[in-house]
A and B are shown apart, each in its own frame.
Chain A
Amino acid sequence: MDKYVEMIRIRFLMMLAYRTNYYTGILIYAINIAAYYFLWAAIYGDKPSMQGISLGQMTTYVAISWLSRAFYFNNIDREIAMEIRDGKVATELIRPYSYLGMKAVQGLGEGLFRLFFLSLPGLLVVSLFLPLQFPENAHTWLSFSLSLLLSFVIYSELNLLAGVVTFFTFRNEGLLRAKRFIIDLFSGLILPVSFYPDWAQRLMDYFPFQAISYIPSMIITESFQGADVRDGLIVQVAWCALLLLPIGLLWRMAKKRLVVQGG
């Protein structure tokens, strides 16, 4: 366990060395979210609410979902793909830890760094000039924190899954890129899932994507109340558990057929 905690710390410190370029990052995030706000304001026109979400809630939704993304986002799928291509994965596999576990905690280290150095200051900056509505209920914050952590787990699991697939295909940049856009679109990052047509919403219930962004953002904007919050969290936990299955299975197969070409 210690070694995983240590790895989180090391990743955090690695990122800290590059913290200066996050100052511009905050600025760009702020412009980004502000532009989104005006876009949504224009979309709302004089409608007080759309799909049960008011403009104020939508603004908060957009701001929070982008800032949450900074936390749960990581590139471990690409890192795995790169290490397989370079042959580095061979040395990784003989080290006394779980390779996938180590990748996941590296992602967590990065995520924690961005949470403190990008998301929180970014939220502060954005709330200076945009009418964000934060819940006063401590319970909502607690549910949101839990939900955000689960988002990270699900996102990382999907990344690990995509990374492990590289063991079979060697080159899959296209797949990794496609996965990223599917997640952006269907996770509720750019658009709350409730805006999609009914058939699309029903279809999305069969995929883990909305558990990444839609559920935590709906919780923090209090668009989900009572039982909806509980159900959302249950869906997230279920996906966390369910995704372990294909990862474990593919990983067992992958280790057997790994071919390192030189390296």
Chain B
Amino acid sequence: MFYISVFFQYMAQYMKTKLQYRTDLLIEWLSDFMAQAVNLVFLLVVFGHTPLLHGWTRDEILFIYGFFLVPYAVFGAFFNLWDFNERYIVQGEMDRVLTRPVHSLFQIILERMELESLLGAIPGLIIMAYASVRLSLTFHWYDFFIFILLVIGGAFIYAGIFISLATISFFADARTSIMPMMYNISSYGRYPIDIYHRVIRYILTWVLPFAFVGVYPASYFLNKQEWYDYAFMTPVVGALFFAIAIMLWNAGVRRYRGTGS
């Protein structure tokens, strides 16, 4: 209960500071939107030259992409760890975090949340709606709840991977250049997994399970029965990777000595 009330207090505080700089907020949202537009343009341009991608149509791929944007927005809002090393380890902020009465990871999530990222889900929903109309997809009443479950699962997979990456800073005191590159790799989960060589397919499924944030869960809504097993594993994989990340984090915190700054 204490955690929940802390959460809402931080959220209220966050709103106040953000609304102080409204133009910043707008520009930030626009630049987030543009970041996504890059991928959308890629898809649209490519499908200007070919009708099918390994048997998948343009609208199916667009749907996968739209779906991906939703868990990604949730992840972006709460797990903003990309400058964890700089901010918390190198500058020594971690010392302060450790004196707080909540779990250190929770504290950092609160400090770094960017709720405006949630707006990124809106383009995703629009793209999904557009694609489903063109594909004349039908939905059941319970699909809404499955959608929520798969989105949460996907966001936890992302969170698990990026928290695990952030914990590297506890073990090796080096700047890590891995994160930006990981963002690139994560985009490959948005394409039909069967186009890849089996090594990459294996990596995207079990090692860096980005396929669970795009193509697997989306294929449930696209009625691709052959991927249903994977689609329903999304929440399980999410919980698993998140749990591993928390364990790594706790182990890392135990090793943390501070930089003395």
- The chain A residues found within 8 Å of chain B, CB to CB, are 18, 20-22, 24-25, 28-29, 31-32, 34-35, 38-39, 41-45, 47, 50-51, 171-175, 177-178, 181-182, 184-185, 190-191, 195-197
Does B241 sit at the interface, judged by CB under 8 A? no
Does B255 sit at the interface, judged by CB under 8 A? no
Residue of A nearest to B199 (CB): A34
A191 CA / B44 CA spacing, docked (Å): 11
Tell whether, in the assembled complex, residue B28 and residue A31 are in contact, meaning their CB atoms are under 8 Å apart: no
Residue tally, chain B, CB below 8 Å to A: 40
Tell whether, in the assembled complex, residue A31 and residue B52 are in contact, meaning their CB atoms are under 8 Å apart: no
Tell whether, in the assembled complex, residue B195 and residue A28 are in contact, meaning their CB atoms are under 8 Å apart: no
Does B132 sit at the interface, judged by CB under 8 A? no
Tell whether, in the assembled complex, residue A197 and residue B48 are in contact, meaning their CB atoms are under 8 Å apart: yes
Query: Which residues of chain A are within 8 angstroms of B4 by Cβ–Cβ distance?
Result: none
Residues 194-233 of B contacting A (Cβ, < 8 Å): 195-197, 200, 203-204
Please, could you name 24 A-B residue pairs with CB atoms under 8 Å apart, sorted by A? A18-B174, A18-B175, A20-B174, A21-B175, A21-B178, A28-B178, A32-B184, A35-B200, A38-B196, A39-B191, A42-B53, A42-B54, A42-B191, A43-B49, A44-B50, A45-B50, A47-B50, A50-B50, A51-B49, A174-B28, A174-B30, A178-B30, A181-B31, A195-B46
- Total residue contacts A-B, CB cutoff 8 A: 102
A195 CA / B32 CA spacing, docked (Å): 24
Residue of A nearest to B46 (CB): A43
Does B176 sit at the interface, judged by CB under 8 A? yes
Interface of A is mostly: helix
Residue of B nearest to A66 (CB): B184
A20 CA / B174 CA spacing, docked (Å): 8
Binary per-residue interface labels of chain B (14-42) against chain A in the complex, 1 for a CB within 8 Å, 0 otherwise = 00000001001001101110110110011
Query: Which residues of chain A are within 8 angstroms of B24 by Cβ–Cβ distance?
Result: 171, 173-174
A197 CA / B49 CA spacing, docked (Å): 10
Tell whether, in the assembled complex, residue B196 and residue A191 are in contact, meaning their CB atoms are under 8 Å apart: no
Query: What's the nearest-Cβ distance from chain B to residue A207, in Å?
Result: 15
Tell whether, in the assembled complex, residue B46 and residue A22 are in contact, meaning their CB atoms are under 8 Å apart: no
Tell whether, in the assembled complex, residue B200 and residue A25 are in contact, meaning their CB atoms are under 8 Å apart: no
A195 CA / B42 CA spacing, docked (Å): 10
Tell whether, in the assembled complex, residue A41 and residue B195 are in contact, meaning their CB atoms are under 8 Å apart: yes
Tell whether, in the assembled complex, residue B195 and residue A25 are in contact, meaning their CB atoms are under 8 Å apart: no
Query: Which residues of chain B are within 8 angstroms of A42 by Cβ–Cβ distance?
Result: 53-54, 191-192, 195
Tell whether, in the assembled complex, residue A181 and residue B38 are in contact, meaning their CB atoms are under 8 Å apart: yes
Query: What's the nearest-Cβ distance from chain B to residue A98, in Å?
Result: 27
A185 and B38 contact, Cβ closer than 8 Å, known pairs A35-B188, A195-B49: yes
Does B1 sit at the interface, judged by CB under 8 A? no
Tell whether, in the assembled complex, residue A174 and residue B188 are in contact, meaning their CB atoms are under 8 Å apart: no
Q: A43-B50, A195-B49 are in contact. List 10 more A-B contacts (CB 8 A).
A: A20-B172, A21-B177, A28-B178, A35-B185, A42-B54, A43-B49, A175-B31, A181-B34, A191-B45, A195-B48
Does B181 sit at the interface, judged by CB under 8 A? yes
Query: What's the nearest-Cβ distance from chain A to residue B83, in Å?
Result: 11
Tell whether, in the assembled complex, residue B191 and residue A177 are in contact, meaning their CB atoms are under 8 Å apart: no
Tell whether, in the assembled complex, residue A175 and residue B49 are in contact, meaning their CB atoms are under 8 Å apart: no
Does B148 sit at the interface, judged by CB under 8 A? no
Does B182 sit at the interface, judged by CB under 8 A? yes
